[in-house]
Amino acid sequence: MGRSPCCDESGLKKGPWTPEEDERLLQYIQKNGHGSWRTLPRLAGLNRCGKSCRLRWTNYLRPDIKRGKFSQEEEQTILHLHSVLGNKWSAIATHLPGRTDNEIKNFWNTHLKKRLIQMGFDPMTHRPRTDFFAALPQLIALAALRDQLAADPAASAHLQAGGGSAAGGVDVAIQAAKLQYLQCLLQSAATTIDGIASTAAAGSTADAEAAALGGALCSPQGTQDSTAAPVSAASGQQLLPSCTFPEAPVSSEADQGLSYGGGAGVDVFVCHGGASLPPLADLSDAANNPSGDGCSATASSSFGGGAVSPLPWPEFFPDDPFITDFL
DNA sequence: AATGAAGGCAACCGCAGAAGG
DNA sequence: GCCTTCTGCGGTTGCCTTCAT
């Protein structure tokens, strides 16, 4: 209860630690253990409060502390655990031997958080930004696609050939695109559901990561960059080698853009990019996979036992056949 | 070379929960 | 059951370094 009085005491030194202080604290703890942090400074002959000593020890002097840059694996772990645990830095730190909560927190605030924001993700939910107008360009792009496919025999032929289905290739492709967009919307709407998380990072560098994730975002770029999605799917699977599939097996097709994580004892559904809407160039593949993309069947089941929640948006454009087709 | 901006990190502050009397 | 003390955690700040102009 209440605030610790130790740091309120006047006359105690604050600010950066000197090498002499470090040495004194280190030697004392190595010899006696830290025991009571409150009494430690006096016993060790340090003019610091116990809190400051504890912080210095846990964040800097502890012998098992790992220094240097975070590895890709560590980065992945942080992203994944943060998506599950939120800002529970100490809990995250327990999964990263040698890293302190402070270090992880700093790394998050200075690197990962900014990167997620740049990629259009909400750093708290790890999901694409949920405002409707942000998704509007994609809606428009899909509507345009429908018109274009209907008007372009070459594209239709391509889709029919690639789709492998003799009947209604264009329609199937459009339906698949619609389905994927719907899933995008649904997933955006599900941001408040606890326990649902996504690992956002994939790729070996920030730029590669951005590119990879950008392909999976519900954004105009995501729908038009024909190279992004494969990178996303591939890297997403590569970089989460320890991910498990606690609920249901997922087919390799459906697995694209998906991964599961069981960190911290929590079964977590993870969908890269929140809604792996593939680029439009992949529509033939989408048509091959009538269940939609990797966020389809398992996604809806993860959002509450398979029942899809009612859309929150129909009131915005109830008369648009493109939307009502979904309902 | 000088200066300002931005980034990165160590440390502090204050709150909350656990433990003990 | 209440109060006090201690510990741990997360948010924030401020300093130092690096980069750009």
Nearest residue by alpha-carbon distance to C1' of B7: A110
Q: What are phi and psi of A2, to 5 degrees?
A: 70, 175
Q: Which of A81, A103, A121 is the last residue of a domain?
A: A121
Full-model pTM:
0.52
Å separating the CA of residue A78 from the C1' of nucleotide C3: 40
Do A285 and A205 belong together in one domain?
yes
E strands of A144-224, at which residues?
196-197
d(CA A148, CA A161): 17
Please state the rounded mean pLDDT for residues A27-50. 86
**A56 located within any domain:** no
Instruction: Give the range of the structural domain holding residue A80, as residue numbers without chain letter.
Output: 72-121
CB-based burial label for A217 (10 Å; 0-12, 13-18, 19+)? buried
Determine the distance between A207 (CA) and C20 (C1') in angstroms: 21
Regarding whether A99 and A202 lie in a shared domain, the answer is: no
A108 touches strand C (CB under 7 A): no
Domain boundary among A121, A137, A154: A121
Asked whether residue A37's C-beta has any atom of DNA/RNA strand B within 7 A, the reply is no
CATH classification of the domain holding A115: 1.10.10.60
pLDDT of residue A140: 55
What pLDDT is recorded for position A69?
85
Would the pLDDT of A80 be above 60? Answer: yes
Which residues, in sequence order, are CB contacts of A242 under 8 Å at separation 6+?
Answer: none
Looking at the fold, whether A175 and A105 belong to one and the same domain comes out as no
Instruction: Please tell me whether residues A234 and A304 are part of one structural domain.
Output: yes
Query: Which of A98, A121, A144 is the endpoint of a domain?
Result: A121
Rg value, chain A, Cα: 25
Instruction: Say if residue A141 is in the same domain as residue A288.
Output: yes
Whether residues A255 and A116 fall in one domain: no
Instruction: Evaluate whether residue A8 is within a structural domain.
Output: no
pLDDT tier, A143 (very low <50, low <70, confident <90, very high otherwise) = low
Tell me: do A146 and A278 sit in the same domain: yes
Q: Scan for tokens 């655990």, then name that residue.
A: A81
Please give the pLDDT value at position A142. Answer: 56
- Do A176 and A271 belong to one domain? yes
Question: How many separate domains does chain A show?
Answer: 2
- Judge whether A57 lies within some domain: no
pLDDT tens profile A304-324: 233 333 333 333 333 334 333
Check whether residue A182 and residue A243 sit in a common domain: yes
Which DSSP helix (H) or strand (E) runs through A220? helix A220-224
- Do residues A190 and A303 make contact, with C-beta atoms less than 8 angstroms apart? yes
What's the confidence (pLDDT) of residue A129? Answer: 63
Same domain assignment for residues A309 and A181: yes
Q: Which two tokens stand for residue A323?
A: 């939307």
Convert the pLDDT of each residue in A159-195 to its tens digit: 444 433 434 444 544 455 455 544 544 444 443 333 3
Same domain, yes or no: A293 and A198? yes
Helix and strand numbers, DSSP H then E, in chain A: 16, 5
Residue range A258-314, pLDDT digits in tens: 333 333 333 333 333 333 323 323 333 333 333 333 333 333 333 323 333 333 333
Do you know the residue count of chain A? 327
CA of A296 to C1' of C21 (A): 50
CA A138, CA A133: separation in Å to the nearest integer? 10
In eight-state DSSP terms, residue A238 is: H
Do A244 and A164 reside in the same domain of the chain?
A: yes
Tens digit of pLDDT for each residue in A213-243? 333 333 333 333 333 333 333 333 333 333 3
Q: Are strands A121-122 and A196-197 parallel, antiparallel or unpaired?
A: unpaired
Closest nucleotide to the alpha carbon of A59, via C1': B10
Model confidence at A130, pLDDT cuts 50, 70, 90, reads low
Q: Is the CB of A30 under 7 A from strand C?
A: no
8 Å CB contact between A88 and A52: no
Between A177 and A327, residue with greater pLDDT: A177
Identify the pLDDT of residue A127: 74
Task: Judge contact between A178 and A325, C-beta under 8 A.
Answer: yes
For residue A86, the SS3 value is coil
